[in-house]
Chain A
Amino acid sequence: MSSAVLFVIVAALLFGIGVYGLIIAGHLLRKLFAINIMGNAIFILMVAASGPLDGKPDALPQALVLTGIVIAVSATAFALALMVRLYQLTGQASLHNNEGGDD
């Protein structure tokens, strides 16, 4: 089995875990984890696509992944801050269905 195929399988598995977690998890922290796992799956895939491990890899996808990681980190930080605020206001860290909202 070539390493590329291995990467693809791992990425697919991680992505699947992420989607599952996002749907199933109730607690916002878990949902955030799930999204980060999905992101990592994609980063792995992009690194794998950048070229053979032994040869000279293409630098661009790696730069992209780096940028992606930076964005993922900041988005996660933002989401955590939002979650904390939500917890302070409602005492809960999960989502409810009340789209109309209060007055």
Chain B
Amino acid sequence: MTEAALAGLVFLPLLGACLLLLVPRQWRTALVLLVVVPLPVLLLPITAVVWQQQAVQMAVAGHALPLGIVWRVDALSLLLLWLNAFLLVFVGLQALTRFPPATPAGLRFWPLWLLLAAGIHALLLSADLFNLYVTLELVTLAGIGLIATSNRPAALQAAMRYLLLALMASLLYLLGVGLIYAEIGTLDLYEAGNLLEPGLLPATAMVLMITGLLVKAAIFPLHAWLPAAHGNAPGPVSALLSAIVVKVSIYIVWRLWFWTAEGWPMPALELFLGLLGAGAILYGSALALVQKRLKMVIAYSTVAQLGYLMLIFPLASLLAWQAAGFHLVSHGLAKAALFVAAGNILASLGTDRLRRLAGLDQRLPLDVFTLALASVSLMGLPPSGGFIGKWLFLQAAWEQGAWGWMALIALGGLLAAAYLFRILALTCFHPRSHGHSSRLREPPSRASLAGLLLALAAIGLGFASAPILTMLASAWPGVIAP
């Protein structure tokens, strides 16, 4: 049952992607629904098993290592799988209105979308280093393909830049994998953790892999590709890219750091990674403050928010782990909501230039409300998922007497408030400037509803933290043996 569900997670979207190209036009919508809707259902049996046994493992098609592929799900991957399923369904709701599957644009879009879903699932299931490389490529290529569906020069430029950097980053990662295999002769993520001893070669390999992944995760100062790519992609694509695609690279970094390189003495590197996070928070927020387009503000906000995920390295405790995991989920939901709403606004107005957004609350109240709700969570104001994440981070920093990090986290919240309130003041309280044409296409209510539901989920997370924190605690590498 569980094994079938695991296989379904990867092969159902893959199959759907292929079939979409073959079936008649009028069946496409049904096919998309048939693939996306069961995905959360597939997670139920897996969740039940992980809840009891902490982890599920299977060898695909019965082939064991080294040539076979092994899948392994623990609570951390499960959490991301749930986030992804949630995003696929709700962002998909907007995508359905934006790219109706029966149209040619839909035919370009949906196979890539399903391919991206399959790639993310496969990545989260993978338990060996090389498979992670393959799935990471799959995710990146599908993501870039989706950016390019926008077909505008700016988007294509951004996609191209993203592609070149991502290819280079993958090669760095692959080089690291090769070095590790040469050293210990295995690629299993968890076995490598037992066999690998700190030394020059493993350390080099680790640095190479992490550098490559940080490029893909757009961690400051390797973030330069992200704002343009996420800011120019079509609405639903931006949402998925910012909410989950960059996160899965960080997920691999966490895996490498806390499982494969577990127990290596690297205090200087820990601090360095933390400082990168600090740089991301400060620099990303500062640039978000001066952007002239809504989607660019949100994209730079992603650069900033990703920085929090790096604070786990210097803090390195159960609380920090829970904080980072929780932040990952709550940011995912809030950011997806922001991008969905921004996408609706862009589609209705034909522009997302900030000075054109004055008085928008009268014209698109639902989307502006979504912006506001998601902003509350992103700023870490209570009661919201963002607040719980911020609280846990502060508590983790306090526990270690890390006053500097506490100050940084508080400052990060203030900066987020600065750039988000700027948008809210503009959309709601500036009187509408005259002279601009009032052409406005109401976004379909389904698309607005999708954003609203995501934003409500981001807020509601503040009241449902217990199960997520329990799951994260059970996945804490300090507790379970690899």
Where chain B touches its partner, the secondary structure class is helix
Which of A46-87 touch B at CB < 8 Å?
46, 49, 58-61, 63-64, 67-68, 71, 74-75, 78-79, 82-83, 85-86
Bound-complex Cα distance A28 to B148 (A): 16
**Is B160 in contact with chain A by the CB < 8 A criterion?**
yes
A residues less than 8 Å from B177 (CB atoms): 64
**Would A79 and B157 count as touching, CB distance under 8 A?**
no
Which of A9-51 touch B at CB < 8 Å?
22, 28, 31-32, 35, 38-39, 42, 45-46, 49
Scoring A39, A64, A67, A74 by chain B CB atoms within 10 A of each residue's CB, the highest score goes to A64
B residues less than 8 Å from A58 (CB atoms): 185
**Is B161 in contact with chain A by the CB < 8 A criterion?**
yes
Bound-complex Cα distance A99 to B130 (A): 33
**Is B280 in contact with chain A by the CB < 8 A criterion?**
no
> Contact mask B143-176 → A, CB, 8 Å, 1/0?
0110010011111111111011001100100110
**Is B137 in contact with chain A by the CB < 8 A criterion?**
yes
**Is B460 in contact with chain A by the CB < 8 A criterion?**
no
**Would B157 and A45 count as touching, CB distance under 8 A?**
no
Bound-complex Cα distance A32 to B167 (A): 9
A residues less than 8 Å from B292 (CB atoms): 100
**Would B155 and A101 count as touching, CB distance under 8 A?**
yes
**Would B293 and A46 count as touching, CB distance under 8 A?**
no
The segment from B87-95, B227-235, B268-276, B413-421 that touches chain A is B227-235
**Would A38 and B171 count as touching, CB distance under 8 A?**
yes
**Would A100 and B291 count as touching, CB distance under 8 A?**
yes
**Would B171 and A82 count as touching, CB distance under 8 A?**
no
**Would B153 and A102 count as touching, CB distance under 8 A?**
yes
**Is B203 in contact with chain A by the CB < 8 A criterion?**
no
A residues less than 8 Å from B178 (CB atoms): 42, 45-46, 49, 61, 64
CB distance from A78 to the nearest CB of B (A): 6
Bound-complex Cα distance A63 to B177 (A): 13
**Would B153 and A86 count as touching, CB distance under 8 A?**
yes
Chain B residue at smallest Cβ distance from A99:
B228
CB distance from B179 to the nearest CB of A (A): 8
**Is B32 in contact with chain A by the CB < 8 A criterion?**
no
Bound-complex Cα distance A38 to B156 (A): 24
**Would B134 and A49 count as touching, CB distance under 8 A?**
no
B residues less than 8 Å from A101 (CB atoms): 152, 154-155, 157-158, 228, 231-232, 293
CB distance from A27 to the nearest CB of B (A): 12
A-B contact pairs, 25 of them (CB 8 A): A22-B164, A22-B168, A35-B167, A35-B171, A38-B171, A46-B181, A49-B181, A60-B181, A60-B187, A64-B181, A82-B144, A82-B148, A82-B159, A82-B163, A83-B160, A86-B160, A95-B157, A98-B157, A100-B228, A100-B231, A100-B292, A101-B157, A101-B293, A102-B152, A103-B350
A interface residues, Cβ below 8 angstroms from B: 22, 28, 31-32, 35, 38-39, 42, 45-46, 49, 58-61, 63-64, 67-68, 71, 74-75, 78-79, 82-83, 85-86, 89-90, 95-96, 98-103
Bound-complex Cα distance A46 to B296 (A): 41
B interface residues, Cβ below 8 angstroms from A: 66-67, 130, 133-134, 137, 141, 144-145, 148, 151-161, 163-164, 167-168, 171, 174-175, 177-179, 181-182, 185, 187, 227-228, 231-232, 291-293, 296, 350-351, 353
Bound-complex Cα distance A32 to B177 (A): 22
**Would B164 and A68 count as touching, CB distance under 8 A?**
no
Bound-complex Cα distance A67 to B132 (A): 13
CB distance from B108 to the nearest CB of A (A): 12
Bound-complex Cα distance A45 to B179 (A): 9
Partner of B154, one of A31, A79, A98: A98
Across chains A and B, which 8 residue pairs bring their CB atoms closest together, nearest first?
Answer: A101-B154, A49-B182, A99-B228, A46-B178, A86-B156, A101-B232, A90-B153, A89-B153
A residues less than 8 Å from B137 (CB atoms): 71, 75
Scoring B156, B293, B296 by chain A CB atoms within 10 A of each residue's CB, the highest score goes to B156
Bound-complex Cα distance A31 to B181 (A): 29
**Would B157 and A96 count as touching, CB distance under 8 A?**
yes
Bound-complex Cα distance A45 to B163 (A): 24
CB distance from A39 to the nearest CB of B (A): 6
**Would B171 and A60 count as touching, CB distance under 8 A?**
no
**Would A75 and B67 count as touching, CB distance under 8 A?**
no
Q: A75-B141, A101-B158 are in contact. Are A64 and B130 (CB under 8 A)?
A: yes
Chain A residue at smallest Cβ distance from B138:
A71
Q: A78-B145, A90-B153 are in contact. Are A100 and B168 (CB under 8 A)?
A: no
B residues less than 8 Å from A79 (CB atoms): 160, 163-164, 167
**Would A78 and B163 count as touching, CB distance under 8 A?**
yes
Partner of B181, one of A35, A61, A102: A61
**Would B148 and A85 count as touching, CB distance under 8 A?**
yes
Chain A residue at smallest Cβ distance from B225:
A99
**Would B296 and A100 count as touching, CB distance under 8 A?**
yes
Given contacts A63-B67, A85-B148, 11 further A-B contacts (CB under 8 A): A22-B164, A22-B168, A38-B168, A42-B174, A46-B181, A60-B187, A64-B177, A75-B167, A89-B153, A95-B160, A99-B158
